[in-house]
């Protein structure tokens, strides 16, 4: 039956063109929307400042909503000061460090200096979470008027250990002595970092006892499973969330977590309606293609073809046609998904550096969905010609 179906398709290319195009475009669309849905679940940015931490602990950044998507909070929920000691005292923890982040402007000549990347201030203990290492004979800050600068920022400003620099927070500038220059492995980060004493960073960030840390980075002991340790931390801190792997980037980049949540909701709502319409178009096109061959099926019934043979012939044709069209459509579907992601980023719906997740699931899901839809449509459409009485079929043919 497959050989007959293949020869039928070759002999009626024009007749099958509409059905082929419908399945192809449906596969493109479903794959593209699948890329957006998967990106809303797994996309974003891998950790940069927290790359050296096996686990990142944060506050709960969403308000649970019954029978609806959780409401993502627009401001960071901090952890209490006591949380750091609780985490550090758990078995399996080699080290733990709390981190706070505060936007910083570099002042030069009485005006804010131009920097290639945003600048953020952190406590010195958080430098180990990347990790940052001191260059040369520099040292970490020990007094409130001391600071360590990231190498790229120090180079662009022409500063080195022993120089003084003005840093402004909230429009208020203060003078600091540069005690050292720090470097990190890897490419350029999203932000440039300056490191103050932990006390000074907390003071500038406006922290308190009930909201001291933006996040806590945890380094697991040798041989300790990060997943198991994360579960123990979650049990010890019921009001906190633990993050491992690339999910650590959601804590570091606050806007990425919000963008993922919004992208998931938007792409799911768009995909639900669009995929349904696409499947109806595929089903309608295939049904029309089969109905246009009614005289052909009538002749087959007249020469002795059984109902089952007619249905199997239609099924074989659709599966061969749909398989090729669905696979060919999945490939450009990824390109369309990337283009849609760039369009969202260009319109401000996503951060410009948001990385889409390009896994195999969207393409496979599109192929399966298109094939199932095409097969069901063919089965329904083939029922009528298959039920033709051979005598009536002879009259129609």
Place of tokens 């059905």: 19
pLDDT tens column, 276-320: 887 788 778 777 777 777 777 776 767 776 766 777 777 777 788
Length of the chain equals: 397
Mean pLDDT, range 382-392, rounded to an integer: 65
Q: How far is CA 105 from CA 115, 146, 190, 307, 353, in A?
A: 9, 16, 15, 78, 22
Give the span between the Cα atoms of 165 and 174, in whole angstroms: 8
Residue 209: predicted pLDDT = 63
Residue 256: predicted pLDDT = 83
Any idea where the domains of the chain sit in the sequence?
A: 2-43+259-396, 55-247
First to last CA, the chain: 22
Flag whether pLDDT at 233 surpasses 90. Answer: yes
State the CB neighbour count (10 A cutoff) for residue 74.
8
Mean pLDDT, range 114-126, rounded to an integer: 89
Give the span between the Cα atoms of 65 and 73, in whole angstroms: 12
> Who's near 329: CB < 8 A, 6+ residues apart?
23, 24, 25, 26, 27, 28, 31, 366, 370
Residue 271: predicted pLDDT = 82
Residue 241: predicted pLDDT = 92
Angle between helix axes 307-346 and 361-386 (nearest 10 degrees) is 150
* Low-confidence winner among 61-75, 236-250, 316-330 (lowest mean pLDDT): 61-75
Mean pLDDT, range 113-130, rounded to an integer: 89
Residue 78: phi and psi, rounded to 5, are -90, 160
Q: Considering the chain, what is the average pLDDT of its residues?
A: 84
Give the span between the Cα atoms of 310 and 301, in whole angstroms: 8
Residue 2: predicted pLDDT = 55
Flag whether pLDDT at 10 surpasses 90. Answer: no
Flag whether pLDDT at 78 surpasses 70. Answer: yes
> Who's near 333: CB < 8 A, 6+ residues apart?
27, 28, 29, 30, 31, 32, 34, 35, 362, 363, 366
Q: pLDDT band at 386, cuts 50/70/90?
A: low
Place of tokens 């990190």: 184
Mean pLDDT, range 226-245, rounded to an integer: 92
Of the two residues 8 and 28, the one the predictor is more confident about is: 28
Mean pLDDT, range 215-240, rounded to an integer: 93
Mean pLDDT, range 207-236, rounded to an integer: 89
* Low-confidence winner among 24-28, 193-197, 288-292, 386-390 (lowest mean pLDDT): 386-390
* Low-confidence winner among 1-5, 20-24, 95-99 (lowest mean pLDDT): 1-5
Residue 284: predicted pLDDT = 80
Mean pLDDT, range 85-99, rounded to an integer: 94
Of the two residues 377 and 179, the one the predictor is more confident about is: 179
Residue 113: predicted pLDDT = 73
CA 343 and chain centroid, separation: 16
Mean pLDDT, range 88-111, rounded to an integer: 88
Residue 372: predicted pLDDT = 87
Flag whether pLDDT at 5 surpasses 70. Answer: no
pLDDT tens column, 328-368: 999 999 999 999 999 999 888 888 889 899 999 999 999 99
């Amino acid at each position: 039956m497959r050989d007959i179906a293949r020869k039928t398709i070759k002999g009626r290319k024009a007749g099958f063109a509409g059905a082929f195009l419908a399945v192809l475009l449906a596969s493109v669309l479903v794959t593209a929307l699948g890329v957006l849905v998967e990106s809303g679940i797994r996309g974003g940015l891998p950790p940069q400042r927290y790359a050296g931490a096996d686990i990142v602990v944060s506050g709960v950044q969403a308000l649970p909503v019954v029978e609806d998507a959780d409401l993502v909070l627009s401001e960071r929920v901090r952890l209490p000061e006591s949380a750091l000691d609780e985490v550090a005292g758990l078995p399996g923890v080699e080290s733990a460090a709390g981190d706070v982040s505060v936007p910083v402007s570099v002042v030069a000549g009485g005006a804010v200096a131009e920097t290639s990347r945003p600048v953020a201030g952190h406590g010195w203990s958080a430098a180990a979470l990347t990790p940052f290492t001191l260059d040369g004979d520099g040292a970490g800050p020990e007094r409130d008027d001391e600071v360590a600068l990231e190498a790229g920022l120090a180079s662009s400003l022409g500063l080195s250990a022993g120089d003084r620099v003005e840093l402004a927070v909230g429009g208020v500038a203060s003078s600091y002595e540069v005690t050292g220059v720090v470097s990190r492995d890897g490419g350029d980060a999203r932000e440039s970092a300056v490191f103050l004493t932990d006390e000074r960073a907390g003071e500038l960030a406006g922290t308190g006892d009930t909201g001291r840390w933006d996040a806590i980075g945890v380094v697991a002991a040798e041989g300790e499973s990060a997943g198991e340790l994360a579960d123990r931390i979650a049990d010890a801190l019921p009001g906190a969330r633990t993050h491992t792997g690339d999910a650590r980037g959601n804590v570091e980049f606050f806007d990425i977590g919000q963008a993922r949540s919004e992208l998931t909701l938007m792409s799911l709502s768009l995909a639900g309606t669009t995929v349904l319409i696409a499947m109806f178009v595929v089903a309608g096109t295939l049904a029309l293609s089969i109905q246009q061959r009614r005289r052909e099926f009538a002749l087959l019934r007249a020469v002795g073809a059984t109902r089952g043979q007619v249905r199997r012939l239609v099924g074989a044709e659709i599966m061969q046609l749909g398989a090729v069209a669905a696979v060919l459509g999945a490939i450009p579907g990824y390109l369309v998904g990337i283009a849609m992601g760039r369009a969202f980023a260009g319109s401000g719906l996503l951060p410009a550096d948001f990385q889409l997740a390009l896994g195999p699931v969207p393409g496979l899901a599109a192929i399966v969905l298109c094939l199932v839809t095409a097969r069901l449509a063919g089965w329904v459409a083939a029922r009528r010609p298959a039920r033709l009485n051979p005598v009536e079929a002879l009259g129609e043919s």
